[in-house]
Amino acid sequence: MDFNLENPLTNSHELHFDTTPSLFLIESDHMPSKSYLKTLKEIDFDVSFRREAISSVLRVSCNFDPSLSYLAVNYLDRFLSSQGIPQSKPWVFKLLAVACVSLAAKMKEAEFHVTDIQGDGGFVFDPQTIQKMEVLILGALNWRMRSITPFSFISFFISLFKPKDPPLRQALKARACEIIFKAQNDINLLEFRPSLTAASALLYACHELFPMQFLCFRKAISICSYVNKENLLLCYNAMQETAMDGYKSQFDMVSSSDTPVNVLDRNFSSSESENTNGTVVMIPSNGSNKTWPEKDIKRRKISALCNNQTVQLSAFSDATTTMLM
């Protein structure tokens, strides 16, 4: 059975709520260090390296399920957090990306050939070189490859959503997952625990799709014993631009017409409601309301590396181990 991001501690694709406390307890072991985030914020080169490495991961894993790419980037961040950002060598981030994708593919039990994860053009690595890089990554991650990610907490938090209809919950989950995939690119969200990222993504999705349920859902999550309310507010606010980037909000359509979503939402509405007039509400952490009009959010694009060089690297020498220190 392949590794399931939503159930990292079991071999089943069905949710086991008895494992939930364990997920909250050990989730920090699957996060980058705080010093890694500080370095990314202070040094432009490190941010650029991470951006290029992620871009490379996405290119070489484009034929796989998106969850595989997400897992590979998780390995990437945790490795760089442990070993530091390597010196500027144009082939390093490509090799690191290929090795992370290879490990993620093995965890997901995806069928692939080494040529499938080399991408089109650029540097080409032989299997022995990739395997040696994999060993370095495995050691740096202490062989903790069953990563606990925001997807691991989705089902738990959705269980707190008042409407029980499967179509409504599936719509909420789908939008939240889209936000989580995009949030991985934002270094400002790396400091938050995976559970907080999941909760914030679901709250944001709820505000977009089922605004009348938002206050009730927010309260249910906030009083959860596993959640730090203050950090939840910070994470939610930090996620605003990421969630809006490249996405057209459905709120106006829900508010102005009797769409299926609007009709269903009203059927389950609570006595609490908010009026946002097409803006995105940031939950106040200091007692004040802050809003961002949708039109002021500009779409960002991750730059992609264009490298037409092709080289064949033989097995690593002893210097490879220190290369990434």
Asked if 251 and 212 touch (Cβ cutoff 8 Å), the reply is: no
Q: With beta carbons less than 8 A apart as the criterion, state whether 233 and 288 touch.
A: no
pLDDT at 286 (0 to 100): 45
| Mean of pLDDT values over 293-321 | 35
Given a cut of 80, is residue 325 above it in pLDDT? no
- Position 88 scores a pLDDT of 64
Specify the pLDDT at position 277. 41
Of the ranges 40-44, 280-284, 314-318, the best mean pLDDT one: 40-44
Q: Which residues contact 105 (CB under 8 A, 6 or more apart)?
A: 61, 64, 68, 112, 117
Query: H or E segment at 290?
Result: strand 290-293
pLDDT band at residue 18, thresholds of 50, 70 and 90?
low
pLDDT tens digits for 259-304? 434 333 443 343 344 444 443 444 444 444 443 333 333 333 222 3
Q: Are 20 and 9 in contact (CB under 8 A)?
A: no
| 44 Cβ neighbours under 8 A, 6+ residues apart | none
- pLDDT score of 283: 40
The pLDDT tens digits of the residues spanning 125-166 come to: 999 999 999 999 999 999 999 999 999 999 999 999 999 899
Long-range residue pairs from 21-25, CB within 8 A, at least 24 positions apart, any chain = 21/226, 23/148, 23/152, 23/153, 23/156, 23/195, 24/195, 24/226
Summarize the confidence of residues 48-77 as an average pLDDT: 90
Structure token pair of residue 264: 């269903």
The model carries a pTM of 0.74
* CB of 321 closer than 8 Å to CB of 86: no
CB-CB neighbours of 43 under 10 Å: 12
Which residue in 249, 235, 233 sits closest to 297, CA to CA? 249
How far is the C-alpha of 123 from the C-alpha of 263, rounded, in Å?
Answer: 54
Q: Which residues contact 149 (CB under 8 A, 6 or more apart)?
A: 5, 8, 30, 70, 71, 74, 180, 194
Which residues are CB-neighbours of 135 under 8 A, at least 6 positions away?
none
Task: Indicate left, alpha or beta for 31 from its phi (over 0: left) and psi (-120 to 50: alpha).
Answer: beta
pLDDT at 1: 53
What does the pLDDT read at residue 119?
A: 66
> In whole angstroms, what is the distance from residue 178 CA to residue 143 CA?
28
Would you tell me how many other CB atoms lie within 10 Å of the CB of residue 74? 23
Q: pLDDT digit string (tens) for 87-125?
A: 667 788 889 999 999 999 999 988 888 777 876 667 889
The pair of three-digit structure tokens given for residue 266, joined into one six-digit string: 């009203």
DSSP track, 53-76: HHHHHHHHTTTS-HHHHHHHHHHH
Predicted local confidence at residue 69, as pLDDT: 94
Q: What digits encode the pLDDT tens for the residues 197-250?
A: 999 999 999 999 999 999 999 999 999 999 999 999 999 999 987 888 755 444
